[in-house]
Amino acid sequence: MDTRLLLATALLLLRTPAAEALREPELCYVLDAVLFLYGLVLTVLYCRLRFLAHRASRWGAGAEKQEAVYAGLSGEGQETYETLQMKQS
């Protein structure tokens, strides 16, 4: 019975008419316009965010944050490379 149900479903799907989007191209144009506007808004917001971050770092607000991150670090008493001691078994 499962095989007959699967076969009937497959035949029913094959008999369906063409997609509705192909019959009404105006719908595609509307969706394209919505996607274009969405992309445009996201691009403007991204550029605004980058511009504001750049302007804030140029005025010194970002410098204080960077100094706080690196406050306890110092490379004066540390060698760049340390020698590994190999244990002999």
Helices (H) and strands (E) in the chain, counts: 4, 0
Instruction: Give me the residue spans of the domains in the chain.
Output: 18-59
Per-residue burial over 52-69, b if 16 or more Cβ lie within 10 Å, else e, is eeeeeeeeeeeeeeeeee
C-alpha distances in Å from residue 33, one per residue of 2, 13, 26, 84: 45, 31, 11, 63
The span from the CA of 11 to the CA of 5, in Å, is: 10
Residue 40 burial (10 A CB sphere; 0-12, 13-18, 19+): exposed
pTM over 0.75: no
pLDDT tens string, the chain, 89 residues long: the values are: 577 877 787 777 666 565 555 567 777 888 999 999 999 999 999 999 998 888 877 766 555 566 667 777 766 666 677 777 888 76
User: What DSSP character marks residue 22?
Assistant: H
